Structure 1
Amino acid sequence: MKILAAVINNIETDQRLDKVCNSLLKFGYDVELIGTTLRGKPILNKPYKTSFIPIKNQEGFKLYAEFNFKLFVNLLLKADKNTILLANDLDSLFPYYLVSKIKNLPLVFDSHEIYSELPSLHNRPNTKRVWKILEKFLLPKIKYFYTVSNGYANWFAKEYGSTPVVVRNVPHLQKLNNKESFIFYPLPEVPPHHKIVLYQGALNMSRGLEYIIQAMQYMDNCVFWIAGDGPLRKKIEQLVLDLKLSHKIYFLGSVSPKVLKTITPLAEVGISLEQDLGISYRYALPNKIFDYFQARVPVLSTYLPEIKSIVEKYQVGRVIQRHDAEHIAEELTIMLKQGKKHYHDNLTTAALACCWENEEPKLKTIFEQIQKK
Structure 2
Amino acid sequence: MPQEENIDGIRVTRFNWQSSENISEDTLTRFFFVDRVSSEVERRVVPYVEEAAQLNAIKSWLKESLTDEETRMLDPMYYKSYSKSDNARERRKRKFAHKRLLWKTNFMHGFGKTSGNLKSIGSKNRETREKFRELYQLSSLVFAENICSLKFDETPDVIHAHDIYCLPAGVLLAKRFKAKLVYDAHEYEPARATKNPADGSNFAEKLEDDCLPFVDHMITVSSSIAELYAERFKDHPTLILNAPEIDANYMGSRKKQALDQLSIRAQAHVDDGTPLVIFTGGIQMGHRGLDKVLQALVHLPEVRLATMGPRHQKNDSWFMKEARKVGVSDRITLLPPVAAPDVPVAISTADLAICPFQDVSLNHRYAMPNKLFEAAFAGVPICVSDLPEMRRFAETLGFGRAMDETDPESIAEAIRDVLDHPENYTMTAENKKKLWESYSWPAQAEKLARLYDEI
Give, in angstroms, the shift of residue 133 of structure 1.
Answer: 0.8
1:133 aligns with 2:209: no
Which amino acid in structure 1 is aligned with residue 223 of structure 2?
N
Runs (5+) with no aligned partner, structure 2:
21-55, 57-128
Measure, in 2, the Cα distance between the counterparts of 1:45 and 1:340: 47
User: Would the aligned equivalents of 1:297 and 1:340 in 2 still touch at CA under 8 Å?
Assistant: no
CA 1:156–1:342: 2 relative to 1, 3 Å: closer
Measure, in 1, the Cα distance between the counterparts of 2:448 and 2:149: 25
Q: CA RMSD in A?
A: 3.0
1:213 aligns with 2:294: yes
Match of 1:203 in 2: 283
Give, in angstroms, the shift of residue 52 of structure 1.
Answer: 2.7
Match of 1:158 in 2: 231
1:263-274 alignment to 2 at 5 Å? 263-274=346-357
Give, in angstroms, the shift of residue 122 of structure 1.
Answer: 4.4
1:252 aligns with 2:319: no
1:84 aligns with 2:168: no
Give, in angstroms, the shift of residue 197 of structure 1.
Answer: 0.6
Measure, in 2, the Cα distance between the counterparts of 1:64 and 1:167: 23
Secondary structure at 2:277 match in 1: strand
1:1-373 alignment to 2 at 5 Å? 46-47=7-8, 48-54=10-16, 55=18, 60=132, 68-79=141-152, 80-122=154-196, 124-125=198-199, 129-171=202-244, 172-175=246-249, 176-178=251-253, 179-182=255-258, 184-185=261-262, 187-191=267-271, 193-204=273-284, 205-229=286-310, 232-339=315-422, 342-345=425-428, 348-352=432-436, 353-370=438-455
Matched length: 329
Question: Whose RCO is larger (CA < 8 A, sep 6+)?
Answer: 1
Measure, in 1, the Cα distance between the counterparts of 2:287 and 2:434: 26
Give, in angstroms, the shift of residue 137 of structure 1.
Answer: 1.6
Which amino acid in structure 2 is aligned with residue 307 of structure 1?
M
Identity percentage of aligned residues: 21
Give, in angstroms, the shift of residue 67 of structure 1.
Answer: 5.8
CA 1:64–1:115: 2 relative to 1, 3 Å: closer
Residue by residue over 1:312-371, the C-alpha shift from the partner in whole angstroms, topping out at 9 and shown as x without a partner, is: 22221111135211111111011011136851426624532321121111100111222x
Give, in angstroms, the shift of residue 198 of structure 1.
Answer: 0.6
User: Would the aligned equivalents of 2:184 and 2:218 in 1 still touch at CA under 8 Å?
Assistant: yes
Measure, in 1, the Cα distance between the counterparts of 2:326 and 2:425: 32
Runs (5+) with no aligned partner, structure 1:
1-36
Measure, in 2, the Cα distance between the counterparts of 1:232 and 1:159: 36
Residue by residue over 1:178-215, the C-alpha shift from the partner in whole angstroms, topping out at 9 and shown as x without a partner, is: 24542624712114520211110232342221111111
User: Would the aligned equivalents of 1:146 and 1:164 in 2 still touch at CA under 8 Å?
Assistant: yes
Residue by residue over 1:206-226, the C-alpha shift from the partner in whole angstroms, topping out at 9 and shown as x without a partner, is: 222111111111113321111
Secondary structure at 2:282 match in 1: coil
- TM-score, with length taken from structure 2: 0.65
**Segments of 4+ moved more than 6 angstroms:** 56-59
CA 1:233–1:125: 2 relative to 1, 3 Å: farther
- For structure 1, which segment, 296-305 or 160-169, has the greater mean C-alpha deviation from structure 2 after superposition? 160-169
User: Would the aligned equivalents of 2:308 and 2:334 in 1 still touch at CA under 8 Å?
Assistant: yes
Match of 2:66 in 1: none
> Computing the radius of gyration over CA atoms, which structure comes out larger, 1 or 2?
2
- TM-score, with length taken from structure 1: 0.79
- For structure 1, which segment, 265-274 or 336-345, has the greater mean C-alpha deviation from structure 2 after superposition? 336-345
Residue by residue over 1:151-184, the C-alpha shift from the partner in whole angstroms, topping out at 9 and shown as x without a partner, is: 0110111234442110111123334442454262
Measure, in 2, the Cα distance between the counterparts of 1:81 and 1:51: 15
User: Would the aligned equivalents of 1:173 and 1:351 in 2 still touch at CA under 8 Å?
Assistant: no
Measure, in 2, the Cα distance between the counterparts of 1:348 and 1:279: 30
CA 1:70–1:306: 2 relative to 1, 3 Å: closer
Secondary structure at 1:224 match in 2: strand
Which amino acid in structure 2 is aligned with residue 105 of structure 1?
A
- For structure 1, which segment, 52-61 or 206-215, has the greater mean C-alpha deviation from structure 2 after superposition? 52-61
Which amino acid in structure 1 is aligned with residue 308 of structure 2?
A
- For structure 1, which segment, 266-275 or 177-186, has the greater mean C-alpha deviation from structure 2 after superposition? 177-186
Secondary structure at 1:310 match in 2: helix
Measure, in 2, the Cα distance between the counterparts of 1:220 and 1:316: 24
Measure, in 2, the Cα distance between the counterparts of 1:151 and 1:63: 24
Which amino acid in structure 2 is aligned with residue 87 of structure 1?
A
* Greater percentage in strand: 1
